[in-house]
Structures are given as C-alpha cells and as structure tokens.
Amino acid sequence: MWVSIVIFTFFTTLVVIAWKFLNWVWLTPKRMEKILRKQGLKGNSYKFLFGDAKETSIMYKESYSKPIGVNDDIGPRVMPFISKTIKTYGENSFMWVGPRPCVFIMDAELMKVVMNKYNSFHKPFKISNPIFRRLIGGLIRFEGEKWSKNRKKLNPLFHLDRLKDMVGTMQKQCEEILEEWSNMIPKDGSPGMIDVFPYLPDYTGSVVSHTLFTTPFQGIVKRTFNIISELTLLANQAQPFSVPGEQFLPTKKYRRANEIENEVRVTFTSMINERLDKREAGEINREPDLFDMFLDELNDVHNSRDRAMAIQEIIQQCKLFFIAGYETTSNLVAWTIIMLAVHQDWQDRARKEIFEVLGKKDKIHGDDLGHLKVLNLIINEVLRLYPPSVEVTRVVEEETQFGEYCLPKGAMVMLPVILLHRNPRIWGKDVLEFKPERFAEGVLKAANGHAAFIPFGWGQRNCIGANLAVWETKVFVISLLRKFAFELSPEYAHGPLVSLNMQPQYGAPLVLRKL
C-alpha cells in the first residue's frame, strides 16, 4: 500500500510539474500573444522557450563585429533586433524575451506613466537571469515603504551641498591620472597618443571609494571593483530571462560567477566587521558616509539569522553603488571626452569659459561648476546621445489598461530610451547631430515641449547618484581642458557597446598636446 501511495504521489507531482512547465513555456505565451495581436500589436510569432533570444543574439554579435562612423545613428548598433522589429512592424510592436512578450513604448508621456506607476509596473529582477540578480540589489530593487525609507535616508548624501565637499577629492584623484598622462607625453612638446578609457574607471572608482566609503582605492578594494565589473560582463552574456534551475548548472560562466560572488561577500563582510570595530572603539570622528548609513541597519537586528540577512542586504547595497559610481560615471566621462575630441569648436568654447570662470586658481570649488554654462550644455547633449541606460524594462504585475491597450499580467514593457532621445519628431531633423546649443533654453525647450530627456530615469525613482555622476564628469573635463588640447587618434574606432551601461567598445585613443 505504501508503495502504491509513493508511486501515485510521484506521478502526481510529475504531472503537476509538467503542467506548470507547459503552461509557463507554451500556453501562457500563446494566450498573451493572442491578446496583444487582437489589439493591433505586431511582432514575430512565439518560438518555444527562447522566443526571439537566438535571433537577437546573432544580431548583436554581427552588430558588434565592426565599428561605425562617429556621426552614424547608434540605435541600430546597440539595439539591433529592436530597431529591426520597429522598422518591420512599426512602433506598435513587441518582441519575445524568452516566454514573455515585451511591448515597446515609444510615446514619451506613456513612458512617464510606466516609470511612475510602481504598483502596476515592477522592475524585472525576479525574472532576470540569475547572474544579473546577484549583481543588482539594494535600493534599486526595493519597493514601497522600504524603498521610500531608504531613499529618504540616503538622499542627504547626494545633495548639492554635500557634493561640494567632494569636489576636492574628485580633483585630487583626477590630477593623479592627468599627471601620469603628462609623463607619458614626449618632453619636447610634441603630442602623444594615449588610450584614456582604461584610466577612467580608476578615477571614478577612487571617487566612490573615498567619498562614499571613506576607503582608499587600492589593494583588495580596487580588485573588488574589477571583479564586480567582470560580473557585469558575465550577466550580459547570459540569457536575458531566467530558466528555472539554470544557476545550478556547472557551466564555466556560473562557476566563475559563484567564485566572484564568494570573493565579494568575503571582502565586504571583512569591511563591515572592520568598520563596526572602529565605530565601537570610537575611532570615527567625521560625518557618516554611505557605508555607515548601511551599517545603521544592523542596530535593530539582534538574532544571528536576521543579522546574516541584513549583512547580505548591505553587501547588495554596496555592490549597487560600486557599480553605479564606477561604470556609469566612467562611461559618461569617456563619451564626453570623445565628443569634445571630435567637435573641436566645442572643446575650444568649453576651455575658454573654464579659464574665464576659474582664472588661474588651482582649486576647483563646487560653486564654480554652476557657472560653466557651456560645459552644462555639452554634458546634456552627451547624455542625450549616449545615455547611461539605453532602455528601461518593466513587468506588468496585474492586467493593466495602458493608453489604448490592455496589457496582460506577466507581459513586459520596454522603454527604448536611446530611440526616444534620437526621435526626430521630438528633437528635430538635426537629432543625430552633436548640438549642445539645443539645451540653451532648457531641457523642455530642447525637446520641443516633450518630457523626453530621461538619461537617469524619471520621477521619484530617478537615479540617486545622477548629480554625483555629472559633477565627477565636470571636474574631470575641467582639469583635462586646463592641461591638454586633444583630438581623436587615427586609431580610434567608434563602437558604442552596451554591457550594463553604454561604453566605447574599442577604447578612446586620443592625441594629447600639453598646453
């Protein structure tokens, strides 16, 4: 009898699992496809399990196999499959991310609705590939009251008054790199060629490490930045959706991801314990930094299980700010330098204004940055053309009426930011040109009255570190323009590539001449 019960239970469980799998991988996708097509949305027919993933992967590989012209539209390069789908089916279209349809939202006003209706449209972390879920956590994944409480607590660290205190550190870290470049250029006054891109993460990593964690950017801390960056590459190479159980497969990719995760956990745990010891001994006599604010969460934790969970959450918070402050900002600095190297007239205008505002004084002060109008225009235009995130994706939590469409639960929506920023109906026929003057009368005027400039997101949940990224970029560019004139090297190849953020695939080799 017991044998019969075991056999019955086994086969019942097997049938339930098989049914759930069939429903997830075929029945539900086909049902959602029918709903979307009835409303006039178009896209490829659903393919079992992988959807459009294979074709997307092939197109990315082909797209990244060769450079493009510096004035070419980068949309088809960084979003090849999406660009093709919209060209084939029109703006009212969708693609398949594994077994989920992903509807493109091209209207700026509807984009705002998606980013502001947090209860209806959630970030897709739960369905992302397991490596990406390890990579991104903390504030960016919090929802509701937990997000509000943490954001309110951290906001003061990123207020302009606090950023002004960081400018000295930014300048110091920047000048160390510029001095190294200076020593690499011939002493006879002739120009020298340097690929500046590999140096920029050291600058932004140093600023984040010193200003937010009060920790020198060296040794194990620098290594941690580097291996977290490696984890972003692994996440980018994985499927964009999660296949149940795939993280347990003994593949080279997941083995390496596990090694990185373990090392990062050990490093941050050591940093946490060291900081807690210093706090307890009364050795910290400065204002709390970001790391201290994370550790405050341990004050109300009393049992070992909850403490372990709290420490894991702190580690995720640290990883988030390491990544955001390290990669996002270094890429913004890189694209700003590249654009100034291409557009010499704007380089000259920015340099002239810098000398007029700063004169001969050595120290850059936070108040100086607000007076650099030309530099502000330049950075806005760089953020339009090379936004840190090329798209924003959300998951529909419940069946939702959205504009003229009714989106089924479980579907996804994608906001292609890079296409919005390059839409000629919004920005004009010169949309592909580098024209910082378009921002002279403000962002809204530049976009012809549309709220269509969203390089750091929109609304309450815009990037908390946006101002820090822009200020770091300003300080580096100011220091660079005071010391060097530069142009693109003949070896430069234009290749915008999306990993976690958009970066120059072939680096940024420049010809620099000392002033």
In total, the chain counts a number of residues equal to 515
Residue with tokens 């000295």: 168
pLDDT over 80 at 31, yes or no:
yes
Does 82 map to a domain?
A: yes
Does 77 map to a domain?
A: yes
> Which string of b and e fits 423-441 if b means at least 16 CB within 10 Å?
beebbeeebeebbbebbee
Domain limits at 49? 1-131+401-420
Does 188 map to a domain?
A: no
Does 172 map to a domain?
A: no
**Averaged pLDDT, 80-108:** 93
Nearest residue to 471 via CA among 349, 338, 372: 372
Residue pLDDT, tens place only, 210-269: 888 888 888 888 888 888 888 877 777 655 655 666 666 677 888 888 898 889 889 988
Q: What is the value of pTM for the model shown?
A: 0.92
The token pair that represents 324 in the structure block: 């955001």
Residue with tokens 């959205």: 402
Name the domain count of the chain. Answer: 1
* pLDDT-based confidence at residue 1 (cuts at 50, 70, 90): low
Residue pLDDT, tens place only, 443-480: 999 999 988 999 988 777 788 889 999 999 999 999 99
pLDDT over 80 at 286, yes or no:
yes
**Averaged pLDDT, 353-371:** 92
Which pLDDT score is estimated for 475? Answer: 97
Residue pLDDT, tens place only, 63-88: 999 999 999 999 999 999 999 999 99
**Averaged pLDDT, 336-347:** 98
Does 60 map to a domain?
A: yes
**Averaged pLDDT, 500-507:** 91
Is residue 108 a contact partner of residue 212, using CB atoms and an 8 Å limit? Answer: no
- 318 in a labelled binding site: no
Which helix or strand (DSSP H or E) is residue 460 part of?
none
Mean pLDDT of the chain: 89
The token pair that represents 379 in the structure block: 């950075």
pLDDT over 60 at 488, yes or no:
yes
- CB within 8 A of 118, min separation 6: which ones? 143, 144, 461
Does 267 map to a domain?
A: no
pLDDT over 90 at 358, yes or no:
yes
Question: Which has the higher per-residue pLDDT, 457 or 132?
Answer: 457
Helix, strand, coil distribution of the chain in percent, nearest 5: 60, 10, 30
Q: Which of the given ranges, 21-25, 113-117, 339-343, 460-464, has the highest pLDDT on average? A: 339-343
The token pair that represents 370 in the structure block: 């607000």
Does 356 map to a domain?
A: no
Question: Which has the higher per-residue pLDDT, 244 or 346?
Answer: 346
**Averaged pLDDT, 202-206:** 92
Does 16 map to a domain?
A: yes
